């Protein structure tokens, strides 16, 4: 096992990784920007180094500085967390060149799965079902309109290198396509440095269900069941749960086996997630692969009893998986909500100083955060400031426990999405398991949808 690991991330995921490293007796190195000097991940690490100014391009995305810190501190490995450089093949390749273990798959796999167009091609070759659409970049809006007419509206316009719902939009007719194509293309270029766009047939009333994978360097693969991630705003997840109430055991098994088939085809190693869209008839289609740890990984940990960060570390250190598929059991039901510093009606960010913070406590309640009272939530980063996870013997118990926990969650000085989360969890349609990706738009009257 590693003696020292650098955590190339910030906030709650950096704190999460550091916590597991501490339990395993691994020394940790944190990096931070000027805006994050008071973050808990900085305090929890054995060593912490200022990496640059608040903007990510001058700090958390500065590959040269991060590598310099890793070498200076003699860190044997780098854990990238999620977001930022976690799916950057250049960063993974640099780590390989410098003799530093990148805790994740190799750079070639990251590159192949990082382009949604290329990943569609690859998964089709692997025999994995994909959403009807195209697997080449659109040259202009005229080509997009011609292609959409062939596929049939509604369609989903997407950025090939997108994420977090950026550059993605449902389009219902050609007139609407002409209005939104250029804007989405510009946003994709601005956020990802690549404006390549493609389109797929829009699946009506879909569910977003993903399968968690682990793979070692000796050809062993397991799936750790699924997560239902259909409650979204602006195509970004806000509530996740495991297992999915919608799936029957046969479909669940087929999805898990298909996910392993996909991972084996590309020679995947470490933790990864295959995301699927599932229609009303339980047909499932490949959506994308995340070649990293997911924000929602705690719900999988809660139902399996595994620590996914520990598993990542062990795989990266060259250890074999200590179990086979038959040993992966699931127990109970877990729900995670993402706490955002944002207006719950408009979803606009709400930076400011947290004047008071009291986290809920109790049996089967888990908090993931790196903020505390007196800290400033800046406008420089994603507005997610915490995650709250609960577990119950069944889904109803988990929902009730989450509502109670959210009721005792006290945070002052900034606005958060907690009122919106309560409304979703208390809604009869959510409690009945009718969770499709348009749930928020369809059922929450208190939300002002802003595009």
pLDDT at 163: 67
Domains of the chain: 4-103 (3.40.50.20), 132-201 (3.30.1490.20), 207-443 (3.30.470.20)
- Average pLDDT in the 407-426 region? 96
Q: How confident is the model at residue 447 (pLDDT cuts 50, 70, 90)?
A: low
Q: How confident is the model at residue 451 (pLDDT cuts 50, 70, 90)?
A: very low
- Average pLDDT in the 64-83 region? 98
- In angstroms, the CA 259 to CA 20 distance is 27
- Residue 413 CB burial class (10 angstroms; 0-12, 13-18, ≥19): middle
Q: Is the pLDDT of residue 277 over 70?
A: yes
Q: Catalytic: 10?
A: no
- Residue-wise pLDDT for 194-235, tens only, equals 888 999 998 889 999 999 999 999 999 999 999 999 999 888
- In angstroms, the CA 72 to CA 66 distance is 10
User: Which SS3 state, helix, strand or coil, does residue 89 take?
Assistant: helix
pLDDT at 449: 47
- Average pLDDT in the 28-37 region? 97
- Residue-wise pLDDT for 240-272, tens only, equals 999 999 999 999 999 999 999 999 999 999 999
Q: How confident is the model at residue 190 (pLDDT cuts 50, 70, 90)?
A: confident
Cα 104–Cα 368–Cα 316 angle in degrees, nearest 5: 15
Tokens 């200076």 sit on residue: 72
Q: Is the pLDDT of residue 446 over 80?
A: no
- In angstroms, the CA 118 to CA 110 distance is 11
* Residue 57 burial (CB count, 10 A): 9
Copy the structure tokens of residue 129: 């079902």
* Cβ atoms of 189 and 246 closer than 8 Å: no
pLDDT at 135: 84
- In angstroms, the CA 343 to CA 419 distance is 10
Q: Please give, one letter per residue, the 3-state secondary structure of 20-31.
A: HHHHCCCEEEEE
Reference 151, options 179, 130, 128, 127; nearest CA is 130
Q: Catalytic one among 292, 314, 338, 395?
A: 292
- Please give the model's pTM, rounded to 2 decimal places: 0.91
- In angstroms, the CA 436 to CA 209 distance is 10
Q: How confident is the model at residue 38 (pLDDT cuts 50, 70, 90)?
A: very high
Tokens 């809006």 sit on residue: 141
Copy the structure tokens of residue 421: 């989360």
Q: Is the pLDDT of residue 437 over 70?
A: yes
- In angstroms, the CA 8 to CA 292 distance is 13
Q: Is the pLDDT of residue 18 over 70?
A: yes
Reference 195, options 139, 120, 148, 154; nearest CA is 139
Could you tell me the strand order of the sheet in which 4-7 lies? 47-52, 27-33, 4-7, 77-79, 101-102
């Amino acid at each position: 096992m590693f003696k020292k690991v650098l955590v190339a991330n910030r906030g709650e995921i950096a704190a999460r990784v550091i916590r597991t490293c501490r339990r395993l007796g691994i020394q940790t190195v944190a990096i931070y920007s000027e805006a994050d000097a008071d973050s808990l991940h900085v305090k929890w690490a054995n060593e912490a180094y200022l990496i640059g100014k608040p903007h990510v391009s001058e700090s958390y995305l500065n590959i040269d500085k991060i590598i310099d810190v890793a070498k200076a501190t003699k860190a044997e490995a780098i854990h990238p967390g999620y977001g930022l450089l976690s799916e950057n093949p250049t960063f993974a390749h640099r780590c390989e060149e410098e003799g530093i273990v990148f805790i994740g798959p190799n750079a070639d796999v990251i590159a192949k799965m990082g382009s949604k167009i290329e990943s569609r091609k690859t998964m089709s070759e692997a025999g994995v079902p994909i959403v009807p659409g195209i697997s080449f970049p659109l040259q202009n809006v005229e080509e997009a309109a011609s292609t959409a007419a062939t596929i049939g509206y509604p369609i989903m316009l997407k950025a090939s290198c997108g994420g977090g719902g950026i550059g993605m939009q449902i389009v219902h007719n050609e007139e609407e396509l002409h209005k939104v194509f250029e804007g989405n293309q510009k946003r994709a270029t601005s956020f990802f440095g690549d404006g390549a766009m493609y389109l797929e047939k829009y699946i009506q009333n879909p569910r977003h269900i993903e399968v968690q994978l682990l793979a070692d360097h000796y050809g062993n693969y397991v799936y750790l069941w699924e997560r239902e991630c259909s409650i979204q705003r602006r195509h970004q997840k806000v509530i996740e749960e495991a297992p999915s109430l919608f799936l029957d055991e046969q479909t669940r098994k087929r999805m898990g086996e298909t996910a392993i088939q996909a991972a084996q085809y590309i020679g995947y190693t470490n933790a990864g997630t295959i995301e699927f869209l599932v229609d009303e008839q339980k047909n499932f289609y490949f959506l994308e692969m995340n070649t990293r740890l997911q924000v929602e990984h705690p719900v999988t940990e809660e139902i399996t009893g595994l620590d996914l960060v520990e598993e990542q570390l062990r795989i990266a250190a060259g250890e074999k998986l200590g179990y086979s598929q038959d040993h992966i059991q699931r127990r109970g039901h877990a729900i995670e909500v993402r706490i955002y510093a944002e207006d719950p009606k408009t979803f606009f960010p709400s930076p400011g100083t947290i004047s008071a913070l009291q986290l809920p406590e109790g049996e089967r309640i888990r908090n993931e955060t790196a903020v505390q009272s007196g800290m400033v939530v800046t406008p420089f980063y994603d507005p997610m400031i915490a995650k709250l996870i609960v577990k119950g013997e069944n889904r109803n118990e988990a929902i009730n426990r989450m509502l109670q926990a959210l009721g005792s969650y006290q945070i002052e000085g900034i606005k958060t999405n907690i009122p919106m989360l309560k409304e979703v969890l208390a809604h009869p349609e959510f409690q009945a398991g009718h969770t499709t990706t348009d749930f928020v738009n369809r059922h929450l009257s208190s939300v002002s949808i802003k595009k």
